[in-house]
């Protein structure tokens, strides 16, 4: 993991996929965008465009575990998305526990003075993707520079 510098993080959903970007050097992630999905299928050309623009060394996909840590029914779909990212773009893909990230993202949106109302009208997926990626970065800090 020492050669990793830039990562894209994904919060996979059936209607929207949140995307975040993070750096190993700073150990920081930030939200990037929300991509539309149809029944969990993204517009792959949009993801390809992001990968060409950001040129990540790897990607991180949130894994929606149950509160007791066991795989949820949705984990298989998130894992399939992670496998397709790896297969299409030939980059390492890691998964990370995303329990409570959507709940935390909604709280973050409210604390920023964000709009209330429908989650559908104001998706928080990019914030959730940032939280997933930040969690992964926190667990995999970059080695100190010599």
Count of the separate structural domains present in the chain = 1
pLDDT band at residue 4, thresholds of 50, 70 and 90?
confident
How do residues 100-115 score in pLDDT, each as one tens digit?
666 565 566 566 655 5
The confidence score (pLDDT) of residue 112 equals: 61
pLDDT band at residue 21, thresholds of 50, 70 and 90?
very high
How do residues 113-131 score in pLDDT, each as one tens digit?
555 544 444 568 888 899 9
**Tokens representing residue 49 in the block:** 């465009």
Residue 1 lies in a domain: no
The C-alpha atoms of residue 139 and residue 38 are separated, in whole angstroms, by 32
Residue 146 lies in a domain: no
The confidence score (pLDDT) of residue 123 equals: 63
Residue 84 lies in a domain: yes
Residue 19 lies in a domain: yes
CA 27 to each of CA 10, 42, 86, 139: distance values in angstroms, whole numbers, following the listed order = 17, 28, 23, 10
Torsions phi, psi for 111 (to 5 deg): -70, -25
Average pLDDT over residues 62-89: 91
Q: Name the residue range of residue 17's domain.
A: 6-139
Q: Domain of 31: which CATH number? A: 3.30.420.140
The chain-wide mean pLDDT, for the chain, equals: 85
- The pTM for the full model equals 0.84
The confidence score (pLDDT) of residue 87 equals: 97
The confidence score (pLDDT) of residue 30 equals: 94
Would you list the DSSP string of 28-62?
Answer: EEEEEEEEEEETTEE-HHHHHHHHHHH--SEEEEE
Residue 144 lies in a domain: no
CB 50, CB 100: distance < 8 Å: no
Least trusted range by pLDDT, from 10-14, 85-89, 106-110, 130-134: 106-110
Residue 145 lies in a domain: no
Torsions phi, psi for 36 (to 5 deg): -75, 145
């Amino acid at each position: 993991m020492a050669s990793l510098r830039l990562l894209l993080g994904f919060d996979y959903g059936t209607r929207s996929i949140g995307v975040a970007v993070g750096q190993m050097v700073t150990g920081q992630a930030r939200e990037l965008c929300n991509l539309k999905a149809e029944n969990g299928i993204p517009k792959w050309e949009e993801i390809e465009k992001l990968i060409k623009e950001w040129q990540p060394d790897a990607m991180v996909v949130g894994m929606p575990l149950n509160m007791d840590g066991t795989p949820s029914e949705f984990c298989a779909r998130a894992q399939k998305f992670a496998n397709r990212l790896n297969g299409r773009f030939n980059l390492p893909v890691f998964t990370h526990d995303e329990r409570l990230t959507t709940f935390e993202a909604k709280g973050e949106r409210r604390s920023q003075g964000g709009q209330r109302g429908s989650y559908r009208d104001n998706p928080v997926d990019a914030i959730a993707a940032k939280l997933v990626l930040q969690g992964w970065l926190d667990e995999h800090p970059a080695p100190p520079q010599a």
